[in-house]
């Protein structure tokens, strides 16, 4: 082994090395201190969703008498029973400084059946309006919620726990800090998001709105962007959420709704539809410069879908940003495949009367002429041609022909997700693919009418993977 010649150390070099050694020791001590401080909340009220810039925008909407403000003002000022009275009245107070609205919000929050999320918002937004007795009662409920260390709970419960901890936090509040460490570090970053990133956990539609409330609250108050733990998922989610709606709008009493995919039969749940739209507005607000956010913003700007009813308008007013430019959703591909989670969705066009099919949350459906049909991908045979893409079923034999349109995207479903397959396109070299967890393979850009054959991987040696074509 070659040995280096010793290097003489001058006094300056020795002093420099001592300084570096001291810095290394200091840096070694920093993580514990940084970790301790990173879950503390120091900001003044309001802390939840109403940062100064957002509050300034909402007050400007009131001065402008925008359509959203007019609808929000009409609903809150009327005798209509509000589905979430504490939330709506507390928001109204922050925008108008109307003490009567604060009183209504506090009274609603003090009711035994009021939920922790609304209590946290009232405690934070109406803090200076709370009398000592009311403040003590609300804080007691929030402290109990923040102190829950039950592992394995869902996103909505964790969201409410985090809002409670942030609302009651003080600069030296160790209990609030411990609650946020549990929610953010242990549950979100330690359990849920790694499972999402690996594809082991599929968040269903109702999880998305509380998830984005939680992302906003954590980033605003702890300066932590949890999306970094599963960046691929969060990059795909906005555009896939747009494509996952059934094409036909639903005419409700106050406005039309896009109806998100649902594995349940029957009439659509308009509360779920409202929260789905609210979640998309939160996606845009979280990263307004991202191209996918700008496309979602373009999707949101159609005033037919502006939520005007008592449940939806507080979300609409709080989260919509009419000053944010958007891109046309016509830029979104009509076929998308989420290989990680084993999902796909296809539309024949962006028209309201388009046909649609998708595999979402492990359920495959087809939507046509206003009707939803559930499909068993293992027993179905007849292919579904949606013009821009076609869906073929493995149970129909070991070969198929691509759709009739140009540059077809084709899905082959009903395969064994635990096996590898050989795929051979006419006049092309055979290659190897692995189905996603739902048993689906996505083949992009097939020539119209071209023949495709597939078979389970044999022992004839390795073949090029699909990405090597």
% of the chain with per-residue pLDDT over 90: 72
Give, rounded to a whole angstrom, the gap between the first and last alpha carbons of the chain.
46
Q: Is the pLDDT of residue 10 over 70?
A: no
Q: Into how many domains does the chain fold?
A: 2
Beta-strand (E) ranges in 273-342?
335-338
Give the closest residue to 273 by CA, choosing from 303, 249, 302.
Answer: 249
Give the closest residue to 166 by CA, choosing from 282, 40, 285, 54.
Answer: 40
Question: How wide is the angle at C-alpha 14 spanned by C-alphas 11 and 16, nearest 5°?
Answer: 110
pLDDT, the chain, mean? 88
Q: Is the dihedral of CA 115, 117, 118, 123 positive or negative?
A: positive
Per the CB < 8 A criterion, the answer to whether 286 and 216 are in contact is yes
Which pLDDT tens digit goes with each residue over 359-394? 999 999 999 998 999 999 999 989 999 988 999 999
Which pLDDT tens digit goes with each residue over 89-141? 999 999 999 999 999 999 999 999 999 999 999 999 999 999 999 999 999 99
Query: Is 308 in the same domain as 345?
Result: no
The two structure tokens encoding residue 87: 């939330």
Which pLDDT tens digit goes with each residue over 221-233? 999 999 998 999 9
Mean pLDDT of 318-344: 91
pLDDT at 406: 63
Give the closest residue to 318 by CA, choosing from 88, 123, 103, 114.
Answer: 88
DSSP 3-state of 336: strand
Query: Is 296 in the same domain as 318?
Result: yes
Mean pLDDT of 54-60: 96
- What long-range pairs does 277-280 form, CB within 8 A, spacing at least 24? 277/305, 277/307, 277/312, 277/315, 277/316, 278/209, 278/312, 278/315, 278/316, 278/319, 279/208, 279/209, 279/211, 279/212, 279/241, 280/238, 280/241, 280/242
Q: Give strand pairing partners of 425.
A: 452
Query: Is 280 in the same domain as 319?
Result: yes
Rounded distance, CA 384 to CA 375, Å?
11
Query: Is 265 in the same domain as 346?
Result: no
The two structure tokens encoding residue 345: 């969705």
Does residue 79 lie within any of the structural domains? Answer: no
Q: Is the pLDDT of residue 257 over 80?
A: yes
* Domain around 408: 340-468
Does residue 399 lie within any of the structural domains? Answer: yes
Render 411-462 in DSSP notation, one character per residue.
Answer: EEES--TTS-EEEEETTS--EEE---TTS-EEEEEEPTT-EEEEEE--SS--
Query: Is 276 in the same domain as 368?
Result: no
Query: Is 248 in the same domain as 350?
Result: no
Q: Is the pLDDT of residue 445 over 90?
A: no
Burial 84-101 (b: 16+ CB within 10 A, else e): bbbbbbbbbbbbbeeeeb
DSSP 3-state of 352: coil
pLDDT at 177: 94
Q: For the whole model, what pTM was predicted?
A: 0.87
Q: Is the pLDDT of residue 347 over 70?
A: yes
pLDDT at 462: 55
Query: Is 356 in the same domain as 278?
Result: no
Query: Is 350 in the same domain as 440?
Result: yes
Q: Is the pLDDT of residue 183 over 70?
A: yes
Rounded distance, CA 180 to CA 35, Å?
12
Query: Is 305 in the same domain as 347?
Result: no
pLDDT at 264: 84
Q: Is the pLDDT of residue 13 over 70?
A: no
Q: Is the pLDDT of residue 11 over 60?
A: no
Query: Is 348 in the same domain as 237?
Result: no
Query: Is 307 in the same domain as 252?
Result: yes
Does residue 152 lie within any of the structural domains? Answer: no
The two structure tokens encoding residue 53: 């810039």
C-alpha separations of 454 from 155, 179, 399, 422, 443 in Å: 40, 52, 6, 5, 12
Query: Is 461 in the same domain as 351?
Result: yes
pLDDT at 408: 77
pLDDT at 8: 41
């Amino acid at each position: 082994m070659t040995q280096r010649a010793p290097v003489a150390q001058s006094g300056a070099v020795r002093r420099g090395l001592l300084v570096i050694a001291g810095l290394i020791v200091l840096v070694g001590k920093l993580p514990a201190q940084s970790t301790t401080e990173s879950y503390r909340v120091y900001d003044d009220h309001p802390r939840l969703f109403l940062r100064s810039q957002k509050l300034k925008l909402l007050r400007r909407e009131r001065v402008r008498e925008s359509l959203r403000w007019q609808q929000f003002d009409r609903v809150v000022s009327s005798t209509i029973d509000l589905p979430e009275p504490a939330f709506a009245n507390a928001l109204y107070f922050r925008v108008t400084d109307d003490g009567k609205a604060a009183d209504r919000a506090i009274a609603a929050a003090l009711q035994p059946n009021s939920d922790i999320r609304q209590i946290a918002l009232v405690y934070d937004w109406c803090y200076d309006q709370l009398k000592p007795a009311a403040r003590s009662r609300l804080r007691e409920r929030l402290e109990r919620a923040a102190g829950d260390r039950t592992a394995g709970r869902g996103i909505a419960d964790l969201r409410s726990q985090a809002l409670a901890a942030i609302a009651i936090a003080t600069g030296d509040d160790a209990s609030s800090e411990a609650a946020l460490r549990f929610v953010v570090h242990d549950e979100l970053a330690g359990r849920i998001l790694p499972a999402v990133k690996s594809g082991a956990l599929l968040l269903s539609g109702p999880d998305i709105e509380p998830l984005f409330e939680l992302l906003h609250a954590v980033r605003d108050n702890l300066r932590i962007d949890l999306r970094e733990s599963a960046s691929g998922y969060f990059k795909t989610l906005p555009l896939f959420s747009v494509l996952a709606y059934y094409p036909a709008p639903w005419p409700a009493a106050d406005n039309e709704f896009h109806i998100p995919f649902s594995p349940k039969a029957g009439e659509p749940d308009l509360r779920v539809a409202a929260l789905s739209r609210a979640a998309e507005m939160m996606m845009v607000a979280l990263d307004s410069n991202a191209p996918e956010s700008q496309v979602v913003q373009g999707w949101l700007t159609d005033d037919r879908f502006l939520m005007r009813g008592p449940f939806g308008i507080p979300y609409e007013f709080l989260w919509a940003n009419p000053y944010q430019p958007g891109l046309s959703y016509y830029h979104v591909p009509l076929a998308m495949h989420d290989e990680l989670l084993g999902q796909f969705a296809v539309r024949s066009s962006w028209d309201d009367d388009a046909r649609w099919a998708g595999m979402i949350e492990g359920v495959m459906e087809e939507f046509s002429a206003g009707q939803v049909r559930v499909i068993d991908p293992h027993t179905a045979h007849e292919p579904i041609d949606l013009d821009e893409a076609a869906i073929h079923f493995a149970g129909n034999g070991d070969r198929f022909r691509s759709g009739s349109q140009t540059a077809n995207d084709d899905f082959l479903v009903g395969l064994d997700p635990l096996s590898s397959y050989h795929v051979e396109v006419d006049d092309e070299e055979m290659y190897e693919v692995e189905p996603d967890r739902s048993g689906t393979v996505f083949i992009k850009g097939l020539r119209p009418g071209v023949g495709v054959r597939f078979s389970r991987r044999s022992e004839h040696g390795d073949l090029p993977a699909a990405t090597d074509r």
